[in-house]
Amino acid sequence: MRVEVCQGFPDTAVIIQCREVTDEVRKLEALCLGSSQTLSCTKNYKTHLIDRREVLYIESVDKQCFLYTANEMYETNLKLYELEEMLDTAGFFRCAKSQIINIAKIKSLCPDFGGRIEAEMESGEKIIISRQYAKSFKERVGIK
Amino acid sequence: MKKLITFVMPMKLIAGGVLFGLIGFYMVVGILYARLTGAEFEYSIPFAFIWQGATLAIAIAILWEVFFGETIIKKWRFFKRILLFNISLIFLIAICFLTSFALPTDWAYLWLIGVGIISLGIAAMSGLNELYYKKTGERYVEILNAYKKSLLQ
């Protein structure tokens, strides 16, 4: 382990160099990320801390955001744009005006008429990546 | 109210377009049919055709908005939308023939052939399109899986 001081760096960054992503690397990553691995949300008037990796997608309905996991749905007081900013580097992507999708939880992709992309989640649910966001999604994933 | 407006406004445009199309189609087919068979064609449109055509155009616009508007059906694939729209359209036109509404019954077979050919053409084209999308989707999934491996969550 080493700490490098670079004057030109705009912000502090932690880079883990490894041959493959093992459990140890994941633990190290979790340690670096600290509590930001979890999201605070509510269900039935109880507060829950859920692992953000469990979230399939987030949807905003009537200015209220809902987080969907494989089996549960939670509410959060955070706005969609706040969640977008918070989760952008964590593999989440704004796929429509009212939805954010977890790229790691996408099972399959299929383009559709009008430049849209249909994403099938691991739960079997289908999410539409709208034409407005499809181009940046392709750029992010590396689809040419 | 906002939902109602977002549903009704595009419908107005579609209904207008369909009525214009119906009148144009009526005139073109009528003239061609008269030329080919030697029958006499009257170059005027009965008033009943206009209001009945307008009613039919509104019904078609409602079907269009239901299947393609994304206010009611949000997550369907285009192929499914177009197939169900076609089937509904054929049903609607068949009802019009059975009740002699908007479409003249004496030329029923001409209308049916026209609608049938257009519907089959659209279904075949969207079917081919769907096959192409499936192939492209497989390529997307390969790239996605490679991206997911690189993701550290």
pLDDT grade for A115, boundaries at 50, 70 and 90: confident
Return the structure tokens found at A22: 């093992």
Model confidence at A108: pLDDT above 90: yes
Instruction: Give the pLDDT score at A90.
Output: 82
Q: How far apart are CA A115 and CA A106, in angstroms?
A: 18
Segment B71-114, tens digit of pLDDT: 788 778 888 888 888 889 888 888 887 787 776 666 677 777 77
Interchain pair B136, A21: CB under 8 A: no
Asked if pLDDT for residue A34 goes beyond 80, the answer is no
Q: Among A30-44, B13-27, B50-64, where is mean pLDDT lowest?
A: A30-44
Strand partners for A74: A67
* B chain contacts of residue A110, beta-carbon cutoff 8 Å: 77, 133-134, 136-137, 140
Query: For residue A19, what is the nearest residue in chain B, using CA coordinates?
Result: B150
Long-range Cβ contact pairs of B93-102 (< 8 A, separation 24 or more): B96/B56, B101/B52, B101/B55, B101/B56, B102/B22, B102/B49, B102/B52, B102/B53, B102/B55, B102/B56
Which residues 86-115 of A are in CB contact (within 8 Å) with B? 90-91, 103-104, 106, 108-114
Which of A53, A118, A127 comes nearest B77 by C-beta? Answer: A118
Map tokens 């469990």 to a residue. Answer: A54
ipTM for the complex shown = 0.72
- Taking each helix axis from N to C terminus, what angle separates B2-37 and B108-150, rounded to the nearest 10 degrees? 130
Q: Domains of chain A (ranges plus CATH)? A: 52-141 (2.40.50.1020)
Mean pLDDT of A11-33: 74
Question: What pLDDT does B50 receive?
Answer: 85
pLDDT of residue A33: 60
* Sheet containing A46-51: order of strands: A46-51, A38-43, A73-76, A64-68, A57-61, A99-102, A92-96
Q: For residue A91, list chain B residues with Cβ-Cβ distance below 8 A.
A: 151, 153
